[in-house]
A = this chain, B = another copy of it.
C-alpha cells in the first residue's frame, strides 16, 4: 500500500510510540510485506530469524522489536509489537468504510461498461471501458479492473487475504494480518463464474492481460498471474505465487504458496505443484513432476507384479 502522500517518520514514531533511529528526517511512501517492498517503504519484522532479510531488503524503514545496527540511509522504528504497529498503520490509512449502497458513489465505472443487477461494487473501485460484470458479482474496495474485462456471475474480487499471525499461546491462535492491498485485473481478461481472487496483504494481486479463468478458480493474495494464461475449473493458487505468461493449468490443479512457475508451463489436471517449476515444460502428478517422467513411473508401477514373479521364480542359489 502506498500512503496518500509521504508520511514523516517523526509523525509515525509518535503515532506508534516508537523509538526512531537512523535517518530520522525521512518520510515513508508506503508500507509493504517483505515479498513486495520497494525503496521508500516501511516493513515490519518481529523475529530475529528474519531481521537480516528485512534490514537488507529494498525497504527503507524497518519496524522492529529490538535495537540493531541500522543500515546507512535507512531508519528503524523500535516497538514492542511490530505486528500491532503494522495493524495500527493499516487501520489508520485504510479505515473500514463499509457501504450504504450496492454500488459505491466513489467507484469509477467506464461509461461503456455494463453492470448487471445484484452486483456489489465497493469504495474507490475502478472499472475501465467495455467491461461486463454479471449478476451477483462482488468487487471489494480499491480493486482496479481494466478495459474489456468480463467477470461472470457470483465471482468475488478483492476478498481479504488468508494470512495470519500465528501464536499458539493465545486463546485464539490465528490473528488476521489486515489486508490493505488490491486486486488488479488487467485489460482483456475473462473470469468465469464463482471465482474468488484475494487482494494483496499490502501489495497487489494481479491477473495479466489476455488471461482466461474458468469457473470456481481461486487465486490467493499477492499472486501475480502473467499474460495469456488459461486456468481451467477449480484451480486453486495459494498466496504470493509468481506465474509467467502463457501458462496453462488444467482442472483442479493446486499451486502451493510463494513459488514461481515459468512461462508457457502446462500443468495437467489434478496435479499439485509444491515447488518452483521451469518454463516451457509439462507437469503432472501430486506432487507434480515432469509429465513424461511421471507417466513412465505409472508404467513401472504396473510392472511390479511381473518383477515379483521374476524374483520368486528364480531358483534359490
Show the binding face of A for B, using Cβ within 8 Å. 96, 98-102, 114, 116-118, 120, 134-136, 138, 140, 150, 152-156, 159-160, 162, 164, 168, 171-174, 176, 188, 190, 192-196, 198, 209-210, 212, 214-216, 218, 220, 228, 230, 232-234, 236, 238, 246, 251-252, 254, 256, 269-270, 272, 274, 286-287, 297-298, 300-305, 307-308, 310-311, 314-315, 317
Complex interface: chain B residues within 8 A of A310 (CB): 311
Q: Which of A234, A246, A310 has the most CB of B within 10 A?
A: A234
In the bound assembly, the distance between CA atoms of A154 and B303 in angstroms comes to 47
Residues of B within 8 A of A136 (CB): 118, 120, 136, 138, 154, 156
Question: In the complex, are the beta carbons of A118 and B116 less than 8 A apart?
Answer: no
Whether the Cβ atoms of B159 and A153 lie closer than 8 Å is yes
- Copies of this chain: 3
Closest chain B residue, CB of each to CB of A215: B196
| Contacting residues, chain B, for A301 (C-beta < 8 A) | 297, 300-301, 304
Q: Which residue of B lies closest to A152 (CB)?
A: B159
Q: What residues of chain B lie closer than 8 Å to A150, measured between beta carbons?
A: 160, 176
Give CA–CA (A1, B288) in the complex, Å: 41
A172 B209 Cβ-Cβ under 8 A: yes
A174→B232 CA distance, assembly (Å): 13
Cβ–Cβ contact B152 & A160, under 8 A: yes
Query: Which residues of the partner chain B approach A172 to less than 8 Å between Cβ atoms?
Result: 188, 209-210, 228
Query: B140, B192, B270: which contacts A254 (Cβ < 8 A)?
Result: B270
Residues of chain B within 8 A of A304, CB atoms compared: 297, 300-301, 303-304, 307
Report how far A136 CA is from B119 CA in the complex, Å. 8
> Are the C-beta atoms of B117 and A101 separated by less than 8 Å?
yes
A220 contact set on B, CB distance < 8 A: 233
Q: Please, which residues of chain B bring their CB within 8 A of the CB of A214?
A: 162, 218
A102 to chain B, nearest CB (A): 5
CB atoms of B251 and A238 under 8 A apart:
yes
Query: Chain B nearest CB: distance from A276 CB in Å?
Result: 16
Contacts of A152 in B (CB 8 A): 156, 159-160
Jot down 23 A-B pairs with beta carbons below 8 A, ordered by A: A96-B114, A134-B140, A135-B140, A138-B154, A140-B153, A154-B156, A162-B232, A168-B246, A172-B188, A172-B228, A173-B246, A196-B216, A216-B236, A220-B233, A269-B272, A269-B286, A270-B270, A297-B302, A300-B308, A303-B304, A304-B304, A314-B314, A315-B317
Complex CA gap A272/B286 in Å reads: 12
Additional pairs, 15, CB under 8 Å, beyond known A136-B154, A154-B196, A168-B246: A99-B135, A102-B117, A134-B159, A135-B140, A154-B156, A164-B212, A193-B196, A196-B215, A196-B233, A218-B233, A234-B236, A269-B272, A269-B274, A297-B304, A301-B304
How far is A138 from B118 in the complex, measured between Cα atoms in Å? 9
Interfacial chain B residues near A155, Cβ < 8 Å: 154
Q: Which residues of B contact A114 (CB under 8 A)?
A: 96, 98
Which among B118, B159, B228 is the interface contact of A102 at CB below 8 angstroms?
B118
